[in-house]
Amino acid sequence: MGSKVEHEPKGKQAAAQTKQTAAPADEPATGFASPDFDQFSQNMARLVEEYGKVTAAYLKPVERGEAKTGQADEASEMVKTLGRVAERWVNDPRKIIEAQGALTSDFLSLWSNTLKRAGGEETAPVAEPDKRDGRFADPDWSAHPMFDFVKQAYLIGSRWAESMVDKAEDLDPHTREKARFYVKQISSALSPSNFVATNPELLRETLAQNGENLVRGMKMLAEDIEAGGGELKIRQSDPRAFEVGVNIATTPGKVIFRNEIIELIQYAPATQDVLKRPLLIVPPWINKFYILDLNAEKSFIRWCVAQGLTVFCVSWVNPDERHAAKDFESYMREGIFAALDAIEQATGEKSVTAIGYCVGGTLLAVTLAYMAAVKDRRIASATFFTTQVDFSRAGELSVFVDEGQIRSIEEQMESRGYLDGARMSGAFNMLRPNDLIWSYAVNNYLKGKTPTAFDLLYWNSDSTRMPAANHSFYLRNCYLENKLSKGEMRIGGKSLDLKDVTIPIYNLAAREDHIAPAPSVFLGSQCFGGPVDYVVSGSGHIAGVVNPPSKVKYQYWTGGPPQGAYEDWIRAATETPGSWWPHWFSWIETQAPKRVKAREPGAGKLKALEDAPGSYVKVKA
């Protein structure tokens, strides 16, 4: 799941200009003020001083022998992958000449247009940014000939590099996807919007503030490297704006059970009676559970309580070296099974309905297959949020998964017993580098602005670690070998077959999900042996799930059993405006409509240990 944030552009793209007019050659750029050179020089001296603090923050863990490893392996993987693309082109000199000719032609057209603009002629642009690309929203990117030239030159070059990957022949699909990924990282990093001298907005601000913005930015850069233990941890939200349990994750409840892996939270009722069958939520351990309880308005948990559900939610431990040997079976037994035992003690109910989100859903599916094999019927129905059980059409994270990369990750985990949270967080952010990396780098370190308070991005930055045995099992058995859908996975001495899972299932996909793509979830729906209600929500991995009815922001599609091809199913599906939450609750209530008196946390055999959201969720990575 991870940093799986659907990020909206910071500003609307300026209207595309198909005709451009040059300003007179001797006219200075509008809005570029002359700086106070005395103040500017003083700020440059302060900038050098702050840079010294950046260097010190970077070197501190190196001097203590605590420097994090892995970057060299990642760089080597990138070089090897792009080298394979280059080999394909070197083998056909004729194609190289054609590709170079296409690039040269575009640059000659750009240069010709630039000369015409200098002479006062109107010209159509050779290359235009995507309308959703907020990097070039400032009017001067089109109005000023120099910045327009830089912008178009960058777009021509980056798109040419992408085409070199796409047109490379005899390249296996995985290598091609990795090459696309690395080219995207490089082109995003080299965008002229990331540099003061080539970004008109940054240049204006720097001149107007006499460089004070750069001093503030360098100070924040040092703080963020310090916070990352020698690696840059870009702040995406104001970290002082939120506190878990105070103004985020505030739905009332109690921790009623705790072991080495989980705290189990029972939420306080909001109705006089409740559905007899309790609800157990199994969130991903790649992120913290409070994505489902951000605030009162967005909280799925609070909404469920308000409908009359007795809600229990697993809060996973943020693991350290003590949890190195905790594998998938441990998370099943000490996680889901322990929660089921605790729910029975707390409520007297032996049957629950369960929700699994992302990798929490994959664990839930594994658990259901194991329970079917041993005739354990404590979970009467299951809901999956953006969950993959068939990884043959896995999302963009698959670029990180092959034998070499997994072996490298395992070597990194071997010395510590876990994968550092920054690794997973960084991987998710790299899937959307312009939105989740470089927009913040520009805002924080070049504009010198503290990011605004945004609960979703605060959660996104609140990363967790991965226990070595668990993470290795997940990568190898699911992403690399796809054993669960093939019926080849073994847990607790049992061979698992999802066809043995015959309980009702509600399988939610998100149409724009890049982590668990809707076609992949559709394919996984066909692995189960019982009735599956496949539903597709609008938006992506997070916003497609956290979509409260009060917002009426997106929509969802329903269309009968998930049979045939996804493309045919979605084309024939019925679109309904608004949130899927009421549709899901109706599905839940229809299965087991009986109600009983509301249950108070801690009133049963299990006493309250502490208030929600508990202690595990507050441990930082």
Instruction: Please state whether beta strands 379-385 and 352-357 pair in parallel, antiparallel, or not at all (unpaired).
Output: parallel
Q: Which residues pair with 466 in a beta bridge?
A: 419
Q: Is 446 helix (H, G, I), strand (E, B) or coil?
A: helix
DSSP-derived letter for residue 603 is S
Residue pLDDT, tens place only, 268-288: 999 999 999 999 999 999 999
Q: How far apart are alpha carbons 421 and 208 in whole angstroms? A: 39
Tallying the residues shown for the chain, one arrives at 621
Closest by alpha carbon to 142, among 26, 10, 31, 19? 19
Residue pLDDT, tens place only, 134-143: 999 999 999 9
DSSP per-residue letters across 231-291: S-----S-TTS--BTTTBS---EEEEEE-SSEEEEEEPPSSSEEESS-EEEE--SSS-GGG
Q: Which helix (H) or strand (E) holds 495?
A: strand 494-495
Please determine, for residue 6, whether its predicted confidence score (pLDDT) is greater than 60.
no
- The domain covering 253-420+465-618 belongs, at the CATH homologous superfamily level, to Alpha/Beta hydrolase fold, catalytic domain (3.40.50.1820)
Q: What is the pLDDT of residue 14?
A: 36
Please determine, for residue 26, whether its predicted confidence score (pLDDT) is greater than 90.
no
The residue-averaged pLDDT of 104-124 equals: 92
Every domain range in the chain assigned CATH 3.40.50.1820: 253-420+465-618
DSSP-derived letter for residue 494 is E
The residue-averaged pLDDT of 56-71 equals: 72
- The region, left, alpha or beta by phi > 0 then psi within -120 to 50, assigned to residue 453 is beta
Residue pLDDT, tens place only, 367-407: 999 999 999 999 999 999 999 999 998 888 888 889 988 99
Q: Which range has highest mean pLDDT (3-17, 165-179, 229-243, 474-488)?
A: 474-488
Helix axes 71-90, 145-166, angle to 10 degrees: 80
- For tokens 């949890």, name the residue: 323
Question: 319-351 burial, b for 16+ CB within 10 Å, e for fewer?
Answer: beeebbebbbbbbbebbbbbbbebbbebbebeb
Higher per-residue confidence, 170 vs 278: 278
Q: How far apart are alpha carbons 342 and 352 in whole angstroms? A: 12
Whether the ω angle into residue 613 lies within 30 degrees of 0, i.e. cis, is yes
- Would you tell me how many other CB atoms lie within 10 Å of the CB of residue 515? 24
Q: What is the pLDDT of residue 65?
A: 67
Q: What is the pLDDT of residue 108?
A: 95
Say which amino acid occupies 1: M
Residue pLDDT, tens place only, 485-520: 999 999 999 999 999 999 999 999 999 999 999 999
Catalytic, out of 304, 313, 358, 478: 358
pTM score above 0.85: yes
The residue-averaged pLDDT of 472-476 equals: 96
Please determine, for residue 70, whether its predicted confidence score (pLDDT) is greater than 60.
no
Q: How far apart are alpha carbons 93 and 534 in whole angstroms? A: 50
Q: What is the pLDDT of residue 377?
A: 97
Helix axes 200-208, 212-227, angle to 10 degrees: 110
- For tokens 């939450």, name the residue: 581
Say which amino acid occupies 73: D
Per the CB < 8 A criterion, the answer to whether 332 and 363 are in contact is yes
DSSP per-residue letters across 343-393: HHHHH--S-EEEEEETHHHHHHHHHHHHHHHTT---EEEEEEES--S--TT
Give the CA dihedral 124, 127, 132, 134, nearest 10 degrees.
-100
Confidence at 602, pLDDT banded by 50, 70, 90: very high
Q: How far apart are alpha carbons 412 and 255 in whole angstroms? A: 34
Q: Cα angle vertex 483, ends 536, 320, to 5°?
A: 85
Say which amino acid occupies 527: C
Per the CB < 8 A criterion, the answer to whether 324 and 332 are in contact is no
Residue pLDDT, tens place only, 522-576: 999 999 999 999 999 999 999 999 999 998 889 999 998 999 999 999 999 999 9
Q: Does 358 qualify as catalytic in the annotation?
A: yes
DSSP-derived letter for residue 582 is H
Confidence at 31, pLDDT banded by 50, 70, 90: low
- The region, left, alpha or beta by phi > 0 then psi within -120 to 50, assigned to residue 249 is left
In degrees and rounded to multiples of 5, residue 311 shows phi and psi of -100, 125
Residue pLDDT, tens place only, 326-364: 999 999 999 999 999 999 999 999 999 999 999 999 999
Residue pLDDT, tens place only, 421-434: 888 888 888 888 99
Q: What is the pLDDT of residue 359?
A: 97
DSSP per-residue letters across 172-189: -HHHHHHHHHHHHHHHHH
In degrees and rounded to multiples of 5, residue 434 shows phi and psi of -65, -40
Q: What is the mean pLDDT of the chain?
A: 91
Q: What is the pLDDT of residue 11?
A: 39
Q: What is the pLDDT of residue 25?
A: 37
Per the CB < 8 A criterion, the answer to whether 168 and 125 are in contact is no
Please determine, for residue 228, whether its predicted confidence score (pLDDT) is greater than 90.
no
Per the CB < 8 A criterion, the answer to whether 184 and 177 are in contact is no
